[in-house]
Every structure is written in structure tokens, then in C-alpha cells.
């Protein structure tokens, strides 16, 4: 008498969800390209800023406003604004891309509880963006330090606040990646997620400049972009948030986006 063996039953666990999302992330060509672009932005723009500063120091002409009071740290971090867009956009693609291709149906069929998928995607890409951002920031600083050596901008890694600033920049870029993933899952649209991301990180602060100065002083520092900059700023004035306060505010904005994405993921069908 023949017997038919039942197929093995695999239980959905957090570890398996993470491994699945990790494999999907690195199977996409866009992941490699965009991470490479972010690294190039960080290193190349910081290098260009340092070269420009050094040339202006030796020219004898008045220094541009962008370089007044510059340090090797601020010059190295010139590329952060460009890299954040690359990492944020890739974060949107990590989550919203599955909705545009329809793959999300297979993903949620395999993970019926749904929310672990969001946590896994956000965690994995956030860590990847953190690593890429941190490596790029330190590489840019090493190059910038060598270029501006012997000038007023020269500063070493052991000087007060330098290590904290560089690590803060890497952390900020990692959190931007999580924000992009949260917006992609919340809006379920690549174009919509990228538009909101650019608006949050760049446009809102520009629009705030059109409002009365009292609004700028009292509200501006709590915007995501301004609070994020406080995380890695080398110096702070009385009107800006401390690195810790800036981190808490920025994480708060990300938590709101993640909460909205989780609610929609649970309450609404694909």
C-alpha cells in the first residue's frame, strides 16, 4: 500500500520574513545602482566642495558665503542633501515598487499578518542606508581633510564634536531611508511617495521662508528637514535643536509615517 507524504508545513517567522525581504532587496538592479549613486554623491560632492574652498583660499578673493566659516566636516557633508534624495527614493521603491508590479499580493499571501512585512522592509533598508551613508561620510571627510590641510578649515577626527557629527550624518541618512520606505507603503505609489519625500525634505523649508519670521523661528526647527540637520550639525545656536532633540523630532515624524502605513496595510486591501 502506497502512502502519500504531506508537504512540509513552514511557519511564518520574523527571521524568515527578514530573510525574504533581504533577498528581494538585493535581487533588484536598482538597489545596486542607487546605492552606488548615493555613495558617489557623498564622496564626490564633498571632494568638490573641499577643492573649491581650497582654490578660493589661495585666490585672494572674498570667500563665497557658502564657504564662510567652513570646516572639513561641513565641506565633507555637502553631499548629504544629494545622497538623501537617492536613498529616500530607493526607500520608496522598496515598498511602493511592489504595489506597482503587483508582487505585493504574493508577499502578503505568504505573510497574512501583513505588518511584519513593513517592519522588515523598513529595518533592512534603514540598516543598509545607515551603512552606506556612514561609509560615504567618513570617506568624504578623509578626502576633505587632506585637501584643506593647512587652512582655517582643517579639523581632525579627534576634535570635539567631529565624530558625533559624522556618525550623526550616517544615522540621518539611514533614517531618511526608513522615511522613504514608510511613505512608499503609506501612499502605495512610486510617484506619490517620491513627491512627498522631496516636499518633506526640501520644499517645506523653502515655503516656510515666505512666512513671518516668528513662524520661522518657532516652527521651522521642528520640520523634518531642519530637525534632521540638527542631528549632524557640528555647532548649534540658541534657535536650533540639540542633536538629541533633533533626533527625537525626526524619529517622531518617521513614526507617524510608519504608523499610517501600518494602519492602511492592516485596514485596507491591496
4 is a domain residue:
no
Report how many domains make up the chain: 1
| pLDDT average, residue stretch 155-164 | 92
124 is a domain residue:
yes
Alpha-carbon span 89 to 194, nearest angstrom: 6
8 is a domain residue:
no
Give the pLDDT score at 56.
84
9 is a domain residue:
no
Alpha-carbon span 151 to 190, nearest angstrom: 45
Full-model pTM = 0.91
177 is a domain residue:
yes
Residues 216-230 pLDDT 10s: 777 888 999 999 999
2 is a domain residue:
no
Nearest CA among 177, 179, 161, 176 for reference residue 242: 161
DSSP-derived secondary structure letter, 220: G
1 is a domain residue:
no
Give the pLDDT score at 270.
64
Q: What share of the chain is helix, strand, coil (3-state, %, to 5)?
A: 75, 0, 25
Nearest CA among 9, 190, 182 for reference residue 97: 190
Residues 123-156 pLDDT 10s: 999 999 999 999 999 999 999 999 988 888 889 8
User: Across all residues in the chain, what is the average pLDDT?
Assistant: 89
Residues 86-105 pLDDT 10s: 999 999 999 999 988 888 88
Whether the Cβ atoms of residue 153 and residue 70 lie closer than 8 Å to each other: yes
55 is a domain residue:
yes
pLDDT band at 209 (very low <50, low <70, confident <90, very high): confident
> What is the residue range of 37's domain?
14-267
DSSP-derived secondary structure letter, 102: T
Got the DSSP string for 181-198? Answer: HHHHHHH--HHHHHHHHH
Above 90 in pLDDT, residue 39?
yes
Alpha-carbon span 56 to 62, nearest angstrom: 8
Amino acid at each position: 500500500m502506497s502512502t502519500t507524504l504531506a508537504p512540509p508545513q513552514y511557519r511564518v517567522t520574523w527571521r524568515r520574513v527578514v530573510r525574504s525581504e533581504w533577498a528581494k532587496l538585493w535581487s533588484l538592479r536598482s538597489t545596486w545602482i542607487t546605492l552606488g549613486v548615493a555613495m558617489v554623491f557623498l564622496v564626490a560632492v564633498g571632494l568638490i566642495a573641499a577643492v573649491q574652498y581650497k582654490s578660493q583660499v589661495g585666490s585672494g578673493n572674498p570667500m563665497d558665503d557658502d564657504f564662510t566659516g567652513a570646516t572639513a566636516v561641513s565641506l565633507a557633508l555637502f553631499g548629504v542633501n544629494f545622497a538623501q534624495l537617492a536613498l529616500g527614493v530607493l526607500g520608496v521603491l522598496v515598498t511602493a515598487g511592489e504595489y506597482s508590479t503587483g508582487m505585493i499580493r504574493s508577499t502578503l499571501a505568504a505573510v497574512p499578518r501583513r505588518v511584519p512585512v513593513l517592519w522588515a522592509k523598513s529595518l533592512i533598508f534603514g540598516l543598509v542606508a545607515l551603512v552606506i551613508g556612514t561609509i560615504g561620510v567618513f570617506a568624504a571627510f578623509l578626502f576633505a581633510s587632506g585637501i584643506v590641510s593647512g587652512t582655517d578649515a582643517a579639523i581632525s577626527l579627534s576634535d570635539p564634536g567631529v565624530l558625533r557629527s559624522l556618525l550623526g550624518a550616517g544615522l540621518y541618512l539611514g533614517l531618511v531611508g526608513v522615511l522613504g520606505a514608510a511613505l512608499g507603503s503609506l501612499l502605495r505609489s512610486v510617484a506619490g511617495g517620491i513627491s512627498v519625500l522631496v516636499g518633506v525634505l526640501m520644499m517645506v523649508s523653502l515655503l516656510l521662508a515666505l512666512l513671518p519670521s516668528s513662524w520661522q523661528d518657532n516652527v521651522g526647527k521642528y520640520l523634518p528637514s531642519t530637525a534632521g540637520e540638527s542631528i549632524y550639525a557640528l555647532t548649534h545656536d540658541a534657535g536650533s535643536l540639540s542633536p538629541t532633540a533633533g533626533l527625537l523630532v525626526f524619529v517622531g515624524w518617521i513614526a507617524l509615517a510608519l504608523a499610517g502605513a501600518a494602519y492602511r496595510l492592516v485596514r485596507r486591501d491591496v
